[in-house]
Structure 1
Amino acid sequence: MAELEFLAANPNEYRDSTISVLLPDGPIVRVADVSYLFITSKCPLLSYTFESSLDGGYQACIEVTSEAAMVRLLRYIYTDSYLTSDEESTLNISLLTHVETYKIARDYDLPALQLAANSSLTRAVEISCSVPNPPSGLCDTIRFVYKHLAAEQCLLDTLLNYCVSAFRYHRFGTDPEFQRVAFEIPKFHQDICITNHERDFQDEGKSMSPQSVSSAHSTQAPRTLLQCLPLVHTTGR
């Protein structure tokens, strides 16, 4: 498994455990040289999955959404951060990293890690509003959140408000992948239309000059996204 160099920073006597990771598409990835002591002290819920092995150490078998999510969890347990130092300074990684980390943190009752992942997601989309292209992994992130984290309103609000505020700037109305996501996930299309309506209502309630009103709305989605997302089926909504 890649990017596990932090495991080697501990003395050999603490490398007494192995985790078998079950991935959604079937394969099993094994992570060796894990410290049961570290797991117990930082993530008690995960430690409950371990049992004694024949070699005198410990072993566990868990299901995760991806290999990368497991790496992020272990990095947090060992270093107190799920991001590398370079990633923390630039956030130049896929948005999917943050929401996958949020989910595994929720699954193993790590509220501090959930908060960190949510904060990083928010920072990443804020940064993306000032660059010409959408953040990496946006559409996969939307799919993941609506599949696994649809009840997490904080994540939905972050993504929906970004999509509306950057709709024209990042040309989502002519982006085939974005249109495909809206077609695949009717609830997302419905939510983005509702968010657009709510933002318009809030903006129109402010005292603005005609110039500022024009500027504010030029970066937002049109009043009906149906005009810009022709591939979306709207019947039954």
Structure 2
Amino acid sequence: MDRDNRIIVALDCDDRAAAEGIVDRLGEECGFYKVGLELLTVAGPDVVRHLVAQGKEVFLDLKLFEIPHSVAGAVRAAGALGVSMVTVHGMGGAGVLSAAVDAARAFPGLRVLALTVVTSMTDEDLAGIGVRSSVGEQVVRLARLAGEAGCHGVIASPQEVAALRGVLGPDALIVTPGVTLPGDAPADHVRPGTPRAAFAAGASHIVVGRTVTRAADPAAALRRLRASPAPQASAAVG
């Protein structure tokens, strides 16, 4: 993956025209986009093919949580689309994570990332579903499971990056949503952080959404973000 593509812009749009409008306005400023469930459901896989055909990298954020056979099939479908990253839910367990990694082997450019704990969840939310650990403890537990299964990295909030880098080592990808500039509203993220803090802690990539996509000048907003990170990124990027 290109070292210049450490900032991933989330196309959290409810129609394809809006997503393509953002891509057009960003132009050469952005080479990496996240496509999630909303846009994929509305626009279908053609929106991914269109981005890949333009030379963009795609992070397909599916958070796959199914039986291993179904997860493997979805990962193969993602690889055939030409995406660079796909997410599998760490709570699916070792069998699901291993099935995803095995399916990705046929696609050398595809990286399997395990979702740890979504950035909208708190300790209380975990307790509500019967998980007695704190968010930090659960993130580390699932990250270890992902590493043992052979995943290329994890998804976690900026606030867990430093602990994860210590657990996973220098080569793992750590992709962090919930990143905003100081003064920006964190939206649904309850464990946010700034780009500088995320990269300084060891994040390989950050995911940004409204800070860029709802700005009056998205390209200028992205340049402002790019100027914010600490100058040295993790060795995991590349």
Q: Normalised by the size of structure 1, how large is the TM-score?
A: 0.27
Q: Give 1 or 2: higher helix fraction.
A: 1
Q: Give 1 or 2: higher strand fraction.
A: 2
Q: Normalised by the size of structure 2, how large is the TM-score?
A: 0.27
